[in-house]
């Protein structure tokens, strides 16, 4: 095994490497990736697949002068290692350590921050246009996966790229995988290109032949060039990218550094928009990941020898509860349809897809489409359940308003990963959904305090004639006595869990449990709290809130969502709207800043959203204030 990595401080150091040395370096990087990610966890398989591609990119281009934009950015580890972050790499995804995604604050080589998919072509085009407007001269490369290419934004970018004819390269990293096997007509199309290298050779043979015919006047040249087009379309149906005005190169073997370098150089020399179709193997070089790339797409720490997770997640997660219940409920309710945007496993719908293949739709990475598709189903009498991580639903804000809520359609939104998600960091924290959903007319918004209540909420949502969102966190460790039991909840009803007299803590969802814990601790120091499980952010339990007022002049709300516009705001709006004065209100939640990556325990504590933090806030609020009394 070579020992080159230590000596690479930046991509400039790569320029002196021969192709055979780069091959050795690729092997060394793979070992380093495996050793480190087995310890830290992270997106292993995507990175193992792009080792040669990243080496070739940095060997040909001159970062940071040339800009490389990584789509999603979960495959940027090799780029990080080669751009001066080798020494810090063992801090990957840990609090205070390297981010798992490109981050311009971290390095000048990270040309653009990413985390959500399908943005790279648009961002790179903007960067390339800015270069042209400023009269600068450098190259811009977008690296996008075949999964991310299914996102609508990618096509919006390609559409403008073909129109503007900007000098820019799109590297399409095609490993036939999204997180799961890539699906859809586009994937089928790429497959045809991939399977047809012979036809591609035939195309260049035809072009070569026509070029060799002696020129006999303009008309003949035009005729021949039309003939070339027709023959091309004849042998390769739908040369989609070229039709858009983007030169298509490939397919290229993404594990052959020499071939990659030739293609990248060729693309750079051509100028104008070029797409290079690169074929890679997700998980390359680690047999277990090659065999099961989905398992190693994103992984926690694991044992290298057998791939087993070092820390098995404790007990039950909300995802698992959902997975079981939706199958159970769908057995007696044939109108239930499940929709995912490329996250069948992550959202717990894999189970459903096996039980009800005809009632399950993976639409690809296309959250906007998923929501409007569900709206169409609902309009025709079905009851779609759209399971999308909170952070990715941000994409579909307009579709929720315009296509679902405006028509009051019964679509159920299952917002997994709501709140702080931990190691993925600010691009993935789901801390805005309560704010962006609760103000939409017709929408019902709920958040469960535990697994049993979660089941009741799912049942209630499926028996509500209008849009409903249920948001729940990534964290596991739930218990459930009665596996499949459902109690319908009257909409907009909260519950008092603990009666006290000094202060009311009104908590929602994941914050109910730390609120109860805080109340226990506070009781020991003589502060007697009422604890309310709000259950609904919309409709609010207005009667219960008003009933607190005679005995509580201090109310504290707690939510794992941005304070701005969230649950606490809803309570404050309601109380001020009622003309209530003299109540001291405090809203605890995510402050007005992006929260870093790290363990959720650390992050929650940092935001004051653990029992200790709630105690602190209660004590502060409980300090005597002169002349304040609640009144209606």
Ligand X SMILES: Cc1ncc(C[n+]2csc(CCOP(=O)(O)OP(=O)(O)O)c2C)c(N)n1
- Residues forming contacts to ligand DXP in the complex (CB under 6 A) are 43, 72, 74, 297-298, 346, 417, 421, 424, 474
Does residue 561 bind ligand X (CB under 6 A)?
A: no
DSSP-derived 3-state class of residue 2: coil
Does residue 72 bind ligand X (CB under 6 A)?
A: yes
Q: How far is the CB of 463 from ligand X (least distance, A)?
A: 29
Indicate the pairing of strand 503-507 with strand 495-498.
Answer: unpaired
Selected from 103, 261, 359, 395, the binder of ligand X by CB under 6 A is: 395
Which segment (58-66, 254-262, 339-347, 462-470) binds ligand X by CB under 6 A? 339-347
Binding site for Mg ion (CB under 5 A): 145-147, 175, 177
Does residue 286 bind ligand X (CB under 6 A)?
A: no
Does residue 250 bind ligand X (CB under 6 A)?
A: no
Selected from 275, 329, 342, 580, the binder of ligand X by CB under 6 A is: 342
Complex with ligand DXP: residue 417 or 538, whichever CB lies closer: 417
Tell me which residues are annotated as active site: 282, 367, 395
Complex with ligand DXP: residue 427 or 622, whichever CB lies closer: 427
Complex with ligand DXP: residue 424 or 502, whichever CB lies closer: 424
Does residue 424 bind ligand X (CB under 6 A)?
A: no
Within 8 A by CB and 6+ apart from 199, the residues are 235, 236
Complex with ligand DXP: residue 79 or 474, whichever CB lies closer: 474
Q: How far is the CB of 18 from ligand X (least distance, A)?
A: 28
Within 8 A by CB and 6+ apart from 217, the residues are none
Q: How far is the CB of 257 from ligand DXP (least distance, A)?
A: 26
Does residue 42 bind ligand X (CB under 6 A)?
A: no
Q: Which helix or strand (DSSP H or E) is residue 275 part of? A: strand 273-279
Residue 263: both structure tokens together: 């293609």
Phi, psi (degrees; rounded to nearest 5) at 98: -65, 145
Does residue 117 bind ligand X (CB under 6 A)?
A: yes
- Give the long-range contacts of residues 184-190, CB within 8 A, separation 24 or more: 184/150, 184/363, 184/364, 186/146, 186/149, 186/150, 186/364, 187/146, 187/150, 187/364, 189/238, 189/240, 190/146, 190/149, 190/277
Give the Cα separation of 589 and 593 in Å (integer): 11
Q: How far is the CB of 77 from ligand DXP (least distance, A)?
A: 12
Q: How far is the CB of 150 from ligand X (least distance, A)?
A: 8
Nearest to 280 by CA among 28, 53, 19, 20: 53
Does residue 145 bind ligand X (CB under 6 A)?
A: yes
Does residue 410 bind ligand X (CB under 6 A)?
A: no
Which segment (140-148, 157-165, 217-225, 604-612) binds ligand X by CB under 6 A? 140-148
Does residue 154 bind ligand X (CB under 6 A)?
A: no
How many CA atoms are closer than 13 Å to the CA of 628, on its beta-carbon side?
A: 17
8 A C-beta contact, residue 358 and residue 379: no
**Number of C-beta neighbours around residue 428 at 10 A:** 22
Complex with Mg ion: residue 297 or 597, whichever CB lies closer: 297
Give the Cα separation of 266 and 282 in Å (integer): 25
Give the Cα separation of 427 and 594 in Å (integer): 9
Q: Which of residues 296-315 bind ligand X (CB under 6 A)?
A: 297
Q: How far is the CB of 463 from ligand DXP (least distance, A)?
A: 29
- Give 11's DSSP letter: G
Q: Which of residues 471-490 bind ligand X (CB under 6 A)?
A: none
Complex with ligand X: residue 85 or 282, whichever CB lies closer: 282
Q: How far is the CB of 489 from ligand X (least distance, A)?
A: 30
Binding-site residues for Mg(2+), please?
146, 175
Selected from 76, 175, 263, 435, the binder of ligand X by CB under 6 A is: 175
Question: What would the DSSP string read from start to end of 497-549?
Answer: EE--SSEEEEE-GGGHHHHHHHHHHHHHTT--EEEEE--EEES--HHHHHHHT
Q: In residues, how long is the chain?
A: 632
Complex with ligand X: residue 307 or 492, whichever CB lies closer: 307
Binding-site residues for thiamine diphosphate, please?
74, 115-117, 147-148, 175, 286, 367
Nearest to 338 by CA among 325, 352, 351: 352
Q: How far is the CB of 179 from ligand DXP (least distance, A)?
A: 6
CB-based burial label for 592 (10 Å; 0-12, 13-18, 19+):
exposed
Complex with ligand X: residue 47 or 510, whichever CB lies closer: 47
Residue 218: both structure tokens together: 């303009």
Does residue 433 bind ligand X (CB under 6 A)?
A: no
- 474's contact among ligand X, ligand DXP, Mg ion, none, with CB below 5 to 8 A by partner kind, is ligand DXP
Binding positions for ligand X, rule: CB under 6 A: 46, 72, 74-75, 116-117, 145-148, 173, 175, 177-179, 282, 297, 341-343, 365, 367, 392, 395
């Amino acid at each position: 095994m070579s020992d080159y990595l230590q000596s690479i401080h930046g991509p400039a150091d790569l320029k002196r490497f021969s192709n055979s040395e780069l091959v050795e370096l690729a092997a060394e990087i793979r070992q380093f990736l495996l050793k480190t990610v087995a310890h830290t966890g992270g997106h292993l398989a995507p990175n193992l697949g792009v080792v040669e591609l990243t080496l070739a990119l940095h060997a040909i281009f001159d970062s940071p002068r040339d800009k490389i934009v990584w789509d999603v950015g979960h495959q940027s580890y090799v780029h990080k290692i080669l751009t001066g972050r080798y020494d810090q790499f063992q801090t990957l995804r840990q609090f205070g350590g390297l981010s798992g995604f490109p981050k311009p604050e971290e390095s000048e080589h990270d040309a653009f921050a990413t985390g959500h998919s399908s943005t790279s072509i648009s961002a790179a085009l903007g960067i390339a246009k800015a270069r042209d407007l400023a009269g600068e001269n450098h190259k811009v490369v977008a690296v996008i996966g075949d999964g991310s290419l299914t996102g609508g934004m990618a096509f919006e970018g390609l559409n403008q790229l073909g129109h503007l004819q900007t000098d820019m390269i799109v590297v399409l990293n095609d490993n036939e995988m999204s997180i799961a096997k890539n699906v859809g007509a586009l994937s089928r199309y790429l497959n045809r290109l991939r399977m047809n290298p012979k036809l591609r050779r035939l195309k260049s043979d035809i072009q070569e032949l026509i070029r060799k015919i002696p020129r006999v006047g303009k008309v003949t040249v035009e005729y021949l060039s039309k003939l070339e087009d027709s023959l091309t379309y004849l042998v390769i149906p739908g040369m989609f990218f070229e039709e858009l005005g983007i030169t298509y190169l490939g397919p290229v073997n993404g594990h052959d550094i020499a071939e990659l370098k030739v293609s990248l150089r060729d693309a750079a020399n051509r100028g104008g928009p070029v797409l290079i179709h690169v074929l890679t193997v997700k998980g390359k070089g680690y047999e277990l990941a090659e065999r099961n790339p989905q398992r190693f797409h994103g992984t926690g720490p694991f044992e290298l020898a057998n791939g087993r997770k070092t820390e098995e997640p404790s007990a039950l997660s909300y995802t698992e509860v959902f997975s079981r219940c939706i199958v159970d409920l769908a057995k007696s309710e044939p109108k239930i349809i499940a929709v995912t945007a490329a996250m069948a496993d992550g959202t717990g719908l894999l189970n459903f897809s096996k039980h009800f293949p005809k009632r399950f739709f993976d639409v690809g990475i296309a959250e906007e489409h998923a929501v409007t598709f569900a709206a169409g189903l609902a309009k025709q009498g079905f009851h779609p359940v759209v399971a999308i991580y909170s952070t990715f639903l941000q994409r579909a804000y307009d579709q929720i308003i315009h296509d679902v809520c405006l028509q009051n359609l019964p679509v159920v939104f299952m917002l997994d990963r709501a709140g702080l998600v931990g190691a993925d960091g600010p691009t993935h924290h789901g801390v805005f959904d309560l704010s962006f959903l609760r103000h939409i007319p017709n929408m019902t918004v709920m958040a469960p305090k535990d697994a049993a209540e979660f089941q009741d909420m799912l049942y209630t949502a499926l028996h509500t004639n209008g849009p409903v969102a249920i948001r729940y966190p990534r964290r596991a460790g739930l218990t459930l006595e009665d596996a499949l039991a459902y109690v319908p909840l009257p909409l907009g009803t909260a519950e008092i869990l603990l009666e006290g007299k000094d202060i009311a803590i009104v908590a929602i969802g994941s914050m109910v449990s730390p609120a109860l814990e805080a109340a226990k601790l506070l009781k020991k120091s003589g502060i007697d709290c009422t604890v309310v499980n709000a259950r609904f952010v919309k409709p609010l339990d207005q009667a219960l809130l008003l009933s607190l007022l005679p005995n509580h002049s201090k109310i504290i709300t707690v939510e794992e969502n941005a304070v701005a516009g969230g649950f606490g705001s809803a309570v404050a709006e309601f109380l001020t709207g009622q003309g209530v004065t003299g109540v001291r209100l405090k809203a605890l939640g995510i402050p007005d800043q992006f929260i870093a990556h790290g363990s959720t325990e650390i992050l929650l504590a940092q935001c004051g959203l653990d029992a200790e933090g709630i105690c602190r806030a209660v004590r502060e609020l409980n300090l005597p204030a002169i002349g304040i009394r609640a009144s209606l």
